[in-house]
Structure 1
Amino acid sequence: MPTRYYLSLPDGRLARGDEPSLSFSANGGEAFAAQLQDALRTDALFERWRALQDEPDEVDMSLGVVDPAATVEGQQDDLHIDLVATTSLPGTIVRHRMRLLAGSHWQLRDVTRA
């Protein structure tokens, strides 16, 4: 069953993860939404992250699950960006992808059934 995650990036300029090759490169609400949507729909971000691990073959592959039907909408108000992700992925996966993309510069505001 799909879930809707309401995410906030208080300052889009700071919404970058610790590893530049994994983090958001977006500017603007729609671009942030597109990058998160890709991270939820495909395993590309997961595979890049896994390749950086000391023992890539020992990484829990359940972290790489994807939802090809995931959608993300983004709106920007000055530097503040709101994202609404609708996906069947569990919250642990959404949070893991957001930490890779935005580091600690994001907030989960609400979760509802889609």
Structure 2
Amino acid sequence: MASRSHFYLSIDDLAHARGPEPSLRYEGAGPNDFAAALQQALREPGLFERWRAMQPEPDEVDPALGKTDPSAQVNARVADLHTEVDLVTDLPMSIVRHRLNLLIGPSWKLRDMRAA
């Protein structure tokens, strides 16, 4: 069984944080919308499957990159002009990073990570 990790992230300007592909990126209005979008992206395969279908050779994409965590938990709140995100999941950082980059591009920073 994979161990759960608690990721502490920050986003400097959530209002302008967008991924590079318009059909995949986050288009919400605030921290609660973002938390819901990221949680869905980690719990369900939809975002990954849409991204994979856009690749030149979809069948060659490593299926491990599409792993999900049905019990992933995401909370976000505004704090001092930025957004703080708390994420608890058993997914590895490589998958978390991929989903974050699809949703909001490089607009996020990992502040800390601990065992949950």
TM-score clears 0.5: yes
Asked whether the 8 Å contact 1:12–1:79 carries over to 2, the reply is no
**Shift in Å, 1:7:** 1.1
**Shift in Å, 1:54:** 0.6
1:14 pairs with one of 10, 13, 16: 16
**Shift in Å, 1:14:** 2.0
Stretches of 4+ aligned residues off by more than 2 angstroms: none
The alignment-based identity, stated in percent, is: 52
- Correspondence 1:68 to 2:70: yes
Match of 2:30 in 1: 28
**Shift in Å, 1:80:** 1.6
Match of 2:87 in 1: 85
Asked whether the 8 Å contact 2:72–2:89 carries over to 1, the reply is yes
Q: Hey, what's the Cα distance between the residues in 2 that align with 1:76 and 1:48?
A: 29
1:95 pairs with one of 89, 97, 100: 97
- Listed one character per residue, the Cα deviations across residues 49-103 of structure 1 (whole Å, up to 9, x for unaligned) are 0011011111111000000000000102375211111000001100111111111
